[in-house]
């Protein structure tokens, strides 16, 4: 794993600072370039079942809400068998995942948070948020990048302190499926 257990003692204190995007700043230039990249990408978003990408051919366009003529990609609909297969794959992976020490489970999330805060993915996420949700640059940075980084790190911190074994508390985890009858 890329983040050893010692990494857990280095959680940043406080919220992720938003960028200012001043005219002529590197942040503004990077966002402008990311907007052009996202507009031109023509994303084809498949269903991910296990580790397999599934393209059904039944698609819906991804358009900007402020200009429905601007299409930035398409997303594939899943069939009922696809949904069942995805649930089965997730359940199979969950038993393996649950056996890992909590430090190994949080490592990819901490790495993703670091990459999002300091790498080019922040610019791409902000650009996609601006186009898909009609946000301003500053709103996109706060609502998407900063909150995603803070949430990821906060949940990792909660995992390490939630119990002596580092397992998620059932009351705080939305990933648990209810087995009680309705």
Name the residue with higher pLDDT: 11 or 101: 101
Distance CA 33, CA 41 (A): 12
Phi and psi at 75, nearest 5°, equal -120, 140
Closest CA to 106 of 157, 31, 37: 157
- Residue 181: per-residue pLDDT: 44
Write down the pTM of the prediction: 0.73
Structure tokens given for 85: 């297969």
- Residue 175: per-residue pLDDT: 45
Grade residue 165 by pLDDT with cuts at 50, 70 and 90. very low
Q: How far is CA 53 from CA 34, 75, 90, 130, 173, in A?
A: 25, 12, 14, 26, 27
pLDDT tens digits along 84-140: 999 999 999 998 899 999 889 999 999 999 999 998 899 999 999 999 899 999 999
Contact predicate 34/141, CB 8 Å: no
Distance CA 135, CA 146 (A): 14
- Residue 5: per-residue pLDDT: 41
Cα dihedral 59, 62, 66, 70 in deg (nearest 10): -90
Structure tokens given for 30: 């990077």
- Residue 162: per-residue pLDDT: 55
pLDDT tens digits along 41-79: 999 999 999 999 999 999 999 999 999 998 999 999 999
């Amino acid at each position: 794993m890329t983040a050893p257990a010692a990494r857990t003692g280095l959680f940043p204190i406080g919220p992720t600072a938003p960028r200012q995007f001043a005219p002529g700043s590197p942040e503004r230039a990077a966002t402008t370039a990311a907007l052009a990249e996202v507009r031109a990408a023509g994303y084809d978003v498949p269903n991910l079942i296990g580790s397999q990408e599934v393209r059904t051919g039944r698609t819906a366009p991804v358009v900007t809400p402020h200009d429905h003529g601007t299409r930035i990609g398409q997303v594939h609909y899943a069939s009922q068998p696809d949904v069942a297969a995805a649930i089965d794959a997730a359940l199979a992976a969950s038993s393996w995942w649950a056996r890992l020490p909590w430090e190994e489970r949080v490592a990819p999330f901490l790495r993703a948070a670091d990459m999002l805060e300091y790498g080019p993915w922040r610019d791409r996420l902000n650009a996609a948020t601006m186009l898909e949700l009609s946000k301003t640059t500053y709103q996109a940075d706060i609502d998407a990048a900063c909150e995603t980084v803070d949430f990821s790190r906060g949940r990792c911190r909660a995992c390490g302190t939630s119990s002596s074994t580092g397992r998620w508390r059932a009351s705080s985890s939305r990933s648990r499926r209810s087995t009680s009858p309705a």
